[in-house]
Chain A
């Protein structure tokens, strides 16, 4: 039995590591999942203050993007489609771009957001824990982060994960 002890210890260790890796991810993208959206404050194009508390009481698709970002530009028609086809509150925050550029962009390409704010200095990015744009969060009625998408939203992500989750959260 003693001779086999190292092998048993090693086997137990491998099982534990596998179990931990399969149930928990230390990746920063998962850090905010099931946690309250961090506090933030930013102003919308209409000069109204938008905070984390503004999102209470509704399920929200919070999208962080920027007109200077090529992936965001390519994704933009999808956001217009989502707003047209689905019943969902969409809030956008423009990261590190000007009010002028944002106004010009939406005048040409449309405005799918119920509220659109501009974070010209990039302070909201860190407050929300983002590492780049685009990023999308599904926020529940208690302002808890339920889903986070790094990069653009693919059709499979929307159909298989995001929309079913939004429907479930809207019913609860």
Chain B
């Protein structure tokens, strides 16, 4: 059931966004779909570029399509946008010095709130 839902979604996306940009190959259309779902619209409320009707999102999509037609790789296109807008343009920010706390924070809070008490609870009691 889950696989069917995913397949339907991919077909829907191809029927809406990709034809507007008329890619020469299916690979280019797939690359467009991937990138417009990997990046978010910066002036919207948690909306991927693919779904946003904002003017800025339209500019982003045009730029992505242009660079795909110039045979740029995903990494090159993502770098183009992160150079100008930072990692906040990505739905999945990379693990680096700037974002380390995003990844470490839950573990630290978990340890501080539960780990210490769990250790005490599980420790053998002195007679």
Chain A interface residues (CB < 8 Å from chain B): 5-7, 9-10, 13, 16-17, 20, 24, 26-28, 30-32, 38, 96, 121-123, 125-129, 131-132
Contacts of A131 in B (CB 8 A): 42-43, 56, 85
Question: How many angstroms between the C-alpha atoms of A132 and B44 in the bound complex?
Answer: 12
Instruction: Name which residue of chain A comes closest to B86, CB basis.
Output: A31
Instruction: Name which residue of chain A comes closest to B41, CB basis.
Output: A131
Q: Could you say which interface size class chain B belongs to?
A: 20 to 34
Min CB distance A43 to B, Å, is 18
Question: How many angstroms between the C-alpha atoms of A31 and B62 in the bound complex?
Answer: 22
In the complex, the answer to whether A28 meets B98 with C-beta atoms within 8 Å is no
In the complex, the answer to whether B85 meets A129 with C-beta atoms within 8 Å is yes
Which of A31, A121, A123 has its CB near the most chain B CB atoms (within 10 A)?
A: A31
Instruction: Name which residue of chain B comes closest to A30, CB basis.
Output: B86
Contacts of B86 in A (CB 8 A): 26-28, 30-31
Asked if B84 lies at the interface with its beta carbon under 8 angstroms from chain A, I say yes
Min CB distance A158 to B, Å, is 25
Chain B 80-104, CB within 8 Å of chain A: the 1/0 string?
0001111111000000001001000
Question: How many angstroms between the C-alpha atoms of A27 and B86 in the bound complex?
Answer: 8
Question: How many angstroms between the C-alpha atoms of A18 and B43 in the bound complex?
Answer: 27
Min CB distance A152 to B, Å, is 17
In the complex, the answer to whether A31 meets B84 with C-beta atoms within 8 Å is yes
If A26-B88, A125-B56, A125-B59 touch, whether A10 touches B108 (CB-CB below 8 Å) is: yes
Which are the 9 A-B pairs with shortest beta-carbon distances?
Answer: A129-B84, A31-B86, A6-B116, A28-B85, A10-B112, A122-B59, A126-B63, A6-B112, A126-B59
Contacts of B116 in A (CB 8 A): 5-6
- Checking A28, A122, A125 against B89 with a beta-carbon cut-off of 8 angstroms, the contacting residue is A28
Question: How many angstroms between the C-alpha atoms of A125 and B57 in the bound complex?
Answer: 11
Chain B 38-76, CB within 8 Å of chain A: the 1/0 string?
000011000000000001101110110000000000000
Asked if B111 lies at the interface with its beta carbon under 8 angstroms from chain A, I say yes
Name 22 A/B residue pairs within 8 A (Cβ), A-sorted.
A9-B108, A9-B112, A26-B86, A26-B88, A26-B98, A27-B86, A28-B42, A28-B88, A28-B89, A30-B86, A31-B85, A32-B84, A38-B84, A123-B62, A123-B63, A126-B56, A126-B84, A127-B84, A129-B83, A131-B56, A131-B85, A132-B43
Question: How many angstroms between the C-alpha atoms of A28 and B85 in the bound complex?
Answer: 5
Which of B43, B59, B101 has its CB near the most chain A CB atoms (within 10 A)?
A: B59
Min CB distance A15 to B, Å, is 12
Contacts of A123 in B (CB 8 A): 59, 62-63
Question: How many angstroms between the C-alpha atoms of A131 and B9 in the bound complex?
Answer: 29
